[in-house]
A and B are shown apart, each in its own frame.
Chain A
Amino acid sequence: MIVQSFIFLLLVSFKPAPATHVRAYDTPNDAGGSVTVKWDLSKDDSIVTKYEIIRIIGSPNGERVSAGFVLRGTNSYRDVDLKNGQKYYYMIRTWADGEYSDSEITPTPAIPKPQWFHTKRVVALVILVIFTLLLWYYLQLAKKGAPLWIRKIAGLEAIDEAVGRSVEMGRPILYILGLGAISDIPTIAGLAILKRVAKKAAEYEAEIIVPNYDPIVMVAAQETVKEGFMEAGRPDLYRENNIMFLTQDQFGYAAGVDGIMVREKPGAIFLQGLFFAESLILAETGHSIGAIQISGTTSVTQLPFFIAATDYTLIGEEMYAASAYLTRDPLALSTLKAEDIMKALFIALVGLGTIFESIAILTGAQGFHFLKNLFNMF
């Protein structure tokens, strides 16, 4: 009992060791108004309750304000809502229950200011510049009429066949754009394929149904189908009512689309866009009614479901390539070419990185880390 009380007393009146090596600097790559404070943890970190960050304005003897708290084990803090150009000093107060000890004040002031360039995004900029140059080069080639080869994509080749088969069976075509908004690229890629499907449907005088999850996507789908019908010279066949909004509830949408499948029995079903957990619910129901199904998505987790349950699947970037593939527009094809070269560059980088890092780890030669260090720098 006595020993316990003694330990208790010791703990209560124990002053923790202060945090050391406190430094503060303008937070890099921000819009200003922020300072990053870092320190080395107190030696008694395990019994520390919190670290209080104290902001000192103007000079080391200036006004002191509590900027915030962090829990033990944390050694950095981002102080925000500061005035650009103002000098700030910092001090860390280490608390253990009711007791505290103060660190030294930072020797040099931190002055928050905004930056004009985000230095951590150099890699992105380099990629963008290389990509743009490649694009420009291939655009010039395409304008000169150089042939640009593109490999066969089975899923896209099958579009006409699917539409034709559906027409032979006298059934409508169902086009599902998934749960994406118009700001999602897969949705726009899905619209590009929709245009082709709509054009084919109009040529064969087939009915096309497009149930939507997002009202803006619905409007875009209406425009796309109308345009497809106009290109086929059959604007009279276009029915706006068939491109409708269902709901913004994921499984409500799945239930609604399944209902359409079971009632209307479409002969061809296209699932093109952004899909989540409802993907298999749609694809299996589609299979059960015997429709030919062509799916495409960039949601990697849903790809296995589509591959298992549908006849053709456009995997990720194949979907993005669809509009260029279908229109054979040389300008669009040239962007694919640029993308391919870029990918080859990436593969080379990944390969080189693997080789150099393996050598570095096996031999212990630090020099071989240069590629990793280069990317870590930016």
Chain B
Amino acid sequence: MRKYFEKLAQIDRRIIYLILFLTVLLPYLFKISLPMKPLPEVVQAYKEIDQLPPGSVVMISIDYDAASMPEVQPMLYAILRHCFSKNLKVVMLGHWPLGIPLGVTALNEVAKEYHKKYGVDYVFLGFRPGLAAVIINMGKEIRSVFAEDYWGTPLDSLPMMRNVHTYDDIAVIVGLEAGSVGDAWVQYAQARYNAKIILGGTAVVAPDWYPYLQSHQIVGLIGGLRGAADYENLVHHKALAYYGMTPQAAVHILIVIFIILGNLGYIALRRRK
């Protein structure tokens, strides 16, 4: 009996990996879903967008790339669906050049779903290097950074951009993050120009933003897959993030079980000594 317990302290990592893989795979295959209550910070973000009058401009920044796609891309889809269903206008740009195609794909796809017209309902600005400089200069005049959109059309030729010049003309900025660009949005766009900001990002970076939320420097926070699932839930369009929550929950519980098993083995070993 004791021997078996002691073995629990030395489970081979490959066995752990295999069990983990199956725990992720099975709930996806059977599409098991769980009921959940949205987190207050996500509801806050949702309400902030929900109460905007039709025609307001929402700026979405793609500050992530393929690596964080599973967590952040569902947020983008859910937010785009929310914006277009409320007849809000969307300006998209990005600070991570390799994430730009992800933004374009999602924007085109969702716009098609809601029969939105490019240039009238949404615009894609693309990428410019120089993070802080881009954010600061857009506060003075967006055209000083993006004179043209992603496809080379001058901004003034796009009807929806005619009255959009600075952050004052943008109702809310949604930064979708996988790194430190979110801090730059807060430090430059919020602190200097008083722009309203919602940050969404991977579960690794999101905890850093709670102080911003407490100090009202951001008006909403969507963290990790859970945040994305909550947002999907709020816009009543359950998709990848929502169904991804079950594997995530199962893996969390699995890790807790592994920790307990490891400790059981550890205690057994220590008692023998």
A and B interact: yes
- Assess whether A71 is in contact with B53, with CB atoms less than 8 Å apart: yes
- Assess whether A78 is in contact with B168, with CB atoms less than 8 Å apart: yes
**A356: interface (CB < 8 Å):** no
- Interface-facing stretch out of B200-208, B232-240, B244-252, B261-269: B200-208
**A235: interface (CB < 8 Å):** no
Q: With A251-B67, A276-B179 in contact, is A70–B202 under 8 Å at CB?
A: no
Pairs A–B under 8 Å by Cβ, sample size 14: A68-B166, A69-B163, A71-B52, A72-B53, A74-B168, A78-B168, A78-B193, A78-B194, A251-B67, A276-B179, A277-B67, A277-B178, A277-B204, A288-B13
Contact pick for A71, options B56, B98, B194, CB 8 Å: B56
Chain B interface residues toward A at CB < 8 A: 13, 52-53, 55-56, 67-68, 98, 140-141, 163, 165-166, 168-169, 171, 178-179, 193-194, 202, 204-205, 207-208
| Of listed A76, A77, A288, A301, residue having the most chain B CB within 10 A | A301
- Assess whether B205 is in contact with A301, with CB atoms less than 8 Å apart: yes
- Alpha-carbon gap, A69 to B56, bound state (A): 12
- Alpha-carbon gap, A74 to B179, bound state (A): 30
Residues of B within 8 A of A288 (CB): 13
Q: Give the shortest distance, in Å, between A367 (CB) and chain B (any CB).
A: 25
Q: Give the shortest distance, in Å, between A55 (CB) and chain B (any CB).
A: 14
- Alpha-carbon gap, A301 to B177, bound state (A): 15
- Alpha-carbon gap, A250 to B204, bound state (A): 15
Residues of B within 8 A of A69 (CB): 163, 168-169
Residues of A within 8 A of B163 (CB): 69
- The residues in A between 233 and 271 inclusive whose CB is less than 8 angstroms from any CB of B are 249-251
Residues of A within 8 A of B141 (CB): 81
**A216: interface (CB < 8 Å):** no
Q: Please report whether the interface of chain A is mostly helix, strand, loop or mixed according to DSSP.
A: mixed
CB nearest to A48 among chain B residues: B53
- Alpha-carbon gap, A277 to B56, bound state (A): 35
- Assess whether A301 is in contact with B179, with CB atoms less than 8 Å apart: no
- Assess whether B140 is in contact with A80, with CB atoms less than 8 Å apart: yes
Top 4 A-B residue pairs of the complex, sorted by shortest distance between their CB atoms: A251-B67, A70-B168, A277-B204, A71-B171
Q: Give the shortest distance, in Å, between B144 (CB) and chain A (any CB).
A: 10
19 further A-B pairs in the complex, CB-CB below 8 A; given A301-B204, A301-B205: A49-B53, A68-B168, A68-B169, A69-B163, A70-B168, A70-B169, A71-B53, A71-B171, A74-B168, A77-B168, A80-B140, A80-B166, A250-B67, A251-B67, A276-B204, A277-B68, A277-B178, A277-B204, A301-B207
**A348: interface (CB < 8 Å):** no
- Assess whether B165 is in contact with A76, with CB atoms less than 8 Å apart: no
- Alpha-carbon gap, A246 to B169, bound state (A): 42
- The residues in A between 15 and 73 inclusive whose CB is less than 8 angstroms from any CB of B are 49, 68-72
Residues of B within 8 A of A49 (CB): 53, 55
CB nearest to B171 among chain A residues: A71
Q: Give the shortest distance, in Å, between B266 (CB) and chain A (any CB).
A: 15
- Assess whether B140 is in contact with A301, with CB atoms less than 8 Å apart: no
**A300: interface (CB < 8 Å):** yes
Q: With A49-B53, A71-B53, A71-B171 in contact, is A301–B165 under 8 Å at CB?
A: no
Contact pick for B202, options A72, A78, A277, CB 8 Å: A277
Residues of A within 8 A of B165 (CB): 68
Residues of A within 8 A of B98 (CB): 249
Residues of A within 8 A of B208 (CB): 300-301
Q: Give the shortest distance, in Å, between B272 (CB) and chain A (any CB).
A: 25
- Alpha-carbon gap, A71 to B166, bound state (A): 13
| Of listed B13, B56, B67, B168, residue having the most chain A CB within 10 A | B168
